[in-house]
Amino acid sequence: MPTERIFAACAPGLEELLAAELVALGLAARATPGGAEAEGPGAVAAACLGSRLADAVSVRLHAGPAAGLDGALAAARERFGRDAGFQVRRRGGEATLSLDAAGSPLYKRGWRARVGAAPLRETMAAAMLAFGGFDGERPFLDPMCGSGTLAVEAALVAARRAPGHGRRFAFEDWPGHDAARTRELRERLAARERTPPFPVAASDRNGGAVRLATRNAAAAGVAEWVRVERRDAAEVTPPPGRGLLAVNPPYGERLDGDPAGAWRALAALLPRLAGWRLVVLAPDRGLEKLLGLRPSGALSTRNGGLACLLLRYDL
């Protein structure tokens, strides 16, 4: 099977996490601004079906001198057709020619019927879990769950269900696509699925958010593994054991209320989480100081167009 070269895109600051994920999928990968470049036999299918962090995957048809672009584009049109939606980028004397392999954004997992007032992309939720080292082998808690994106993604990780489960991608309609090999990959991924060994807990003080998170968990097929409660974060009882708390507290940009109060409620919960790890997506304006902790890791990124910090704490 010939080697395929791809570019997987992600939110800024998450490139190293994405490259590590692609390596874990069996590809040779390196981080590059805006994503990761990877290659290997079946790289397109492996990334589309298996990457939780990539927002998009494109196959690289040409990467080199701009003088060779016209010939590469003509060959691509001959193979794929004139309306295939090629992406051309030029920089100095270099150029790349790419073709979207997914057909729709990879963060659209297919389960979300409705979103809350400040939705978190599934790929950002997956990045938060990866930054926290979450693999489903310990409990999970989100005490400000909103529409439930983090809890659903955590349940899917714990269940080892591939992010491309149940989806069909653009590359499957390309001329020369090896349908049997893609089917074999889907079967291998499906064979890894399991019942999560630890609970996935979520809560929110807003009743509407609790109902929405419950519906989304059901739509994703993980309702039996996710417990959603209506409770203020300061009053939450964590699941037994030592796990990961991942949370996207309100920023005050799109939601009414008191964002500082939400962070203080989170701080009030922390004394009950000895031995846990905390990952929090924070607006880049200092609200995280209300936690009174020094992070063990930090990444700068963007969420919903806003500059943010992805922070990790070992409690």
Q: Give tens-digit pLDDT for 69-88.
A: 888 888 888 888 887 788 88
Residue 73's pLDDT is what? 86
Residue 231: pLDDT band (50, 70, 90) is very high
Count of other CB atoms within 10 angstroms of residue 141: 28
Q: Kindly state the average pLDDT of the residues 217-230.
A: 96
CATH class of the structural domain 122-160+194-314: alpha beta
CATH class of the structural domain 3-100: alpha beta
pLDDT at position 7 over 50: yes
Domain spans of the chain? 3-100, 122-160+194-314
DSSP character string of the chain: --EEEEEEE--TT-HHHHHHHHHHTT-EEEEETTEEEEEEETHHHHHHHH-SS-SEEEEEEEEEEGGGHHHHHHHHHHHH-TTS-EEEEEETTEEEEEEESSSS-TT--S--S---SS---HHHHHHHHHHTT--SSS-EEESS-TTSHHHHHHHHHHTT--TTTT---GGGGSTT--HHHHHHHHHHHHHT----SS-EEEEES-HHHHHHHHHHHHHTT-GGGEEEEE--GGG--PPSSS-EEEE----SSSS-S-HHHHHHHHHHHGGG-TT-EEEEEEETTSGGGGG----SEEEEEEETTEEEEEEEEE-
Residue 91: pLDDT band (50, 70, 90) is confident
Residue 129's pLDDT is what? 98
Whether 3-100 and 122-160+194-314 share one fold: the answer is: no
Residue 112's pLDDT is what? 75
Residue 64's pLDDT is what? 86
Residue 255's pLDDT is what? 46
Residue 279: pLDDT band (50, 70, 90) is very high
Query: What is the reported pTM?
Result: 0.92
Percent of the chain with pLDDT over 90: 73
Task: Round the average pLDDT of the chain to a whole number and report it.
Answer: 92
Residue 286's pLDDT is what? 82
Q: Kindly state the average pLDDT of the residues 206-218.
A: 94
pLDDT at position 121 over 80: yes
Residue 254's pLDDT is what? 44
